[in-house]
Amino acid sequence: MRAYLKSKDLWEVISGEGTSSPSKNKIKTTTNILISHFSEIALEAVVNIENKEKPNEIWDAIVDRYASSVNNKACMWLKFMRYKYGGDLKNYLVDCQKMIREFAIVQLGIPDDIILILVLAKLSKNYWNVVNNLTMNKSVIFFPSRTLQKLQELVYMKETQAVASTSKTEASIKAEKDLATAYKNEAKKSKHSRSSCEFPTDLYHCLSNC
């Protein structure tokens, strides 16, 4: 997180190292970046009414609660290691993103590629081909956002296919019902036409109506 803020020329807002006071826009941007990287639990733990608009105080709260504690880092890593893929890729990716953000906040120190390999390793066997392709792609595997994006694209593709399949099935069912209704109506018309000519007592009357 420190490196990211430095890359955006925002670390001075946290450190106070700038030659002048940071602008309101920089303070707001820094605050938004910090908050956007929190999970719901972390947000409740470090942000309050007093510091919600003061990024330097939010950072101090992060350090006090997480970065200064080896035990907290160990607990976060154990939580990640014990986390198991439950069969829902979409929810799995959301949970992994939250944990990776927490790693960045506390400066866990585990290389990104190791974390990502563990994220992929937890996936079930039916994703192994996808996993193999991702691990062979150096432009993806060393970057958390790119790897997770590729997996999210897979989620989107599956959801799109499911919607298309459902729509196709519904259309097919409707067509079958419409066809059955048409046959039924046609049968009723045919039956009515035949009944009007059954057992005629007047040949001329029958011929004129049939």
Q: 66-86, pLDDT tens digit by residue? A: 665 677 788 888 999 999 999
Answer yes or no: do 99 and 131 share one domain. Answer: yes
Inside any domain, residue 201: no
CB 59 within 8 A of CB 42: no
In which domain, by residue range, is 27 found?
Answer: 1-68
Q: Compute φ and ψ for 196, nearest 5 degrees.
A: -70, -15
pLDDT of residue 82: 92
Inside any domain, residue 7: yes
The whole-angstrom separation of Cα 20 and Cα 45 is: 31
pTM: 0.50
Low-confidence ranges of the chain (pLDDT < 70): 66-69, 161-210
Answer yes or no: do 87 and 98 share one domain. Answer: yes
Domains: count for the chain:
2
The whole-angstrom separation of Cα 94 and Cα 92 is: 5
Answer yes or no: do 93 and 103 share one domain. Answer: yes
pLDDT of residue 70: 73
CB 29 within 8 A of CB 12: no
pLDDT of residue 203: 43
